[in-house]
Structure formats: structure tokens, C-alpha cells
Amino acid sequence: MSPNAKGAVFALIAFGIFATHDVVVKVLGGIYAPFQIVFFSVLFSFPLATVTLMRDSKPGTLLPVHPWWMAVRTIATVITGVCAFYAFSVLPLAETYAILFAAPLLITVLAIPVLGETVRLRRWLAVIVGLVGVLVVLRPGQTALSLGHLAALTAAICGALSSIIVRKIGSVERPVVILLYPMVANFVLMACALPFFYKPMPIEHLGLVGIIAAFGWIANRLTIAAYQAGEAAIIAPMQYSQIIWATGFGLLFFDETIDQMTAIGAAIIITSGLYIVLRESRAGASATTPVLRTLSRTETGTTPRVSLLMRLRGKEPPR
């Protein structure tokens, strides 16, 4: 098997695990508030995070070099986690993914003011076409837009913002700092909200939360293996396989079917996202490759970013 094929297989397995992770989120989301699910997911992730963070041998303090950027990233990541978990709990899985897939389009736009990226006509057209795809999925004026749709859009926007900030400060901030602040903020803020939303959880539901934490970390490790084996331009598009998993899982577990307009909109969004990835992979087409360097799906703060985990292991994320 060639390195790219091996990387693609690792990535497909990783994103299949991520999709299974989201099925569990949806199951629990039908019973518990997203604040409670996020709280226990972060709580169960801390032992795994501690082992990982012990790898950071770079000297320094836990004080950020860029506190304001870190504050914005932390807030964006916390909002992303709550909104994404809520969207998965109330919307069909495939529809949620279709909206979240707008994040690479938004990263392309945010890279202009934050990274000084130059976006030329072709990538602008891809962004515009992709956003049209989002409108096709949402169908404003034809279907009632729910709080779940707003949550998914907010998760996509805040997830893109969080990603681009990591791209901005990642070379000077310690990975342990970038990883730890959103997790701690999630834990503290969700703990503050918990008294207003808490419902007792039987042991089997706590076990499901443990599965969320474990699956997130396992999928991240497989994604790292994928990027170590293959080229980023081959691995990055594999994230779109999640919508295939979501369609199957939605039908199997929740009796969900994807309607024609959602399928068309998702196809438009994915096509534009693929085009942006391919354009960034060409020499001279992008100075900062913001989408290719994102490396992982929308971050929720319950599991670390792949690019940061790679830096903790002393490996520079691929371009």
C-alpha cells in the first residue's frame, strides 16, 4: 500500500470514529443539556490530556504570549463545543455536518485579515459557491430555521475563528498553553451552568460520555497517523466522508433520511471545500495554506487539535 493510500485509510477510519462519537452525542443530547454533556466529556478527557501534555518538554510558563488572541480562541472554542453538541442533538446528523462543513470556507475568508492571506478570484468564487450551498441546506423562507440551525452555523463560525487563531499564534505559543486553556475554560464554565441544567446520570450514560472522550482521542491519534503517512492534500478531504457515515447512522439509529435539497447543498459545500484544498496544495497559490494546516474537524474543546498534538510530539504539521 502506498503512503497516501495508507494515510487515506487511517483518515477514513478516524472520521468514521468521529461520526460514531457524534451519534453518542446525539443519543445523550436527547436526554441531557449540552452543558452537562460537554462538562463530563471534558472531565473524562483530562486524564488523557494529562498524559499527552506531559510530552511537552519546551520550557516556559502557562502564561500565553498573546493573551488577547488566546482569550478570543478560548471563548470561540467553548461556544463551538456547546453549539455543535446542541446541533447534533436536535438536527439530523447529515444536515448538521453539511452546515459544519462551511468552516473551511470561513477559514479562507478569515485568513485575509488575520494571516494577511491573499485570496484570488478562483478561491473567492469557491467560497461564494460554498456559502450558496449553505443557503440551499437552510432554505430560508421555505423552511422554518430552528435554534439548532443557528447553533450549527455558530459552531461553524466559531470553529473557523478558533482554527485561524491557532494558525496565527501556533508558532510562538507553547502547544500545552493552546490546548489547556479551552479545556479548563470549558470545565469551569460548564460547571457554573451545571446546577441549572443537571439531571442525574445512570452509570451506563456516564459510560457513554466516557466513550465520547475516548473516541475523540482515538480518532485524533488515527488522524495524526494519517498525516504522518500521506500528503495533507490527500488526507484533508477525507473529513467529508463523515457525511456518508452520518447518512447511514441517521437512517439506522434515528430513522433520519436526507432530503434532496440538503443533499444538493451538502454536495455544493463539499465541492467548494475540496476545490479550496486543492488550490492551497498548489505551489504559489497560497502563502499560509490556512485550510490545509487546520488538519482536523471543527474543534469542540473536549479533545485537542491534531496540529497541536503533533507539535507536542515534536513534529511539525505538514503543509
pTM (predicted TM-score):
0.91
Cα separation, 312 vs 254, in Å, equals: 39
Determine the average pLDDT of the residues in 42-54: 80
How do residues 159-185 score in pLDDT, each as one tens digit? 999 989 988 988 788 888 888 899 899
| Of the candidate ranges 227-231, 272-276, 278-282, 283-287, the one whose mean pLDDT is the lowest | 283-287
Given this model, what pLDDT does residue 63 score? Answer: 87
- Using a pLDDT cut of 90, give the percent of the chain over it: 58
Give 191's pLDDT tier (boundaries 50, 70, 90).
very high
Burial state string for 264-283 with b = 16 or more CB within 10 A and e = fewer than 16: ebbebbbebbbbbbebbbee
Q: Which residues contact residue 144 at a Cβ distance below 8 angstroms, ignoring those fewer than 6 apart?
A: none
Number of DSSP helices (H) and strands (E) in the chain, helices first: 13, 0
Given this model, what pLDDT does residue 314 score? Answer: 64
DSSP letters for 124-158: HHHHHHHHHHHHHHH-BTTB---HHHHHHHHHHHH
Given this model, what pLDDT does residue 109 score? Answer: 94
Say if residues 120 and 276 touch (Cβ distance below 8 Å). no
Given this model, what pLDDT does residue 298 score? Answer: 75
Query: What's the DSSP call for residue 302?
Result: S
Given this model, what pLDDT does residue 130 score? Answer: 94
Given this model, what pLDDT does residue 317 score? Answer: 59
Residue 254: Cβ within 10 Å count:
14
Q: Map residue 195 onto helix, strand or coil.
A: helix
Mean pLDDT estimate for the chain: 88
Q: In this model, does residue 28 exceed pLDDT 90?
A: yes
Cα separation, 45 vs 179, in Å, equals: 12
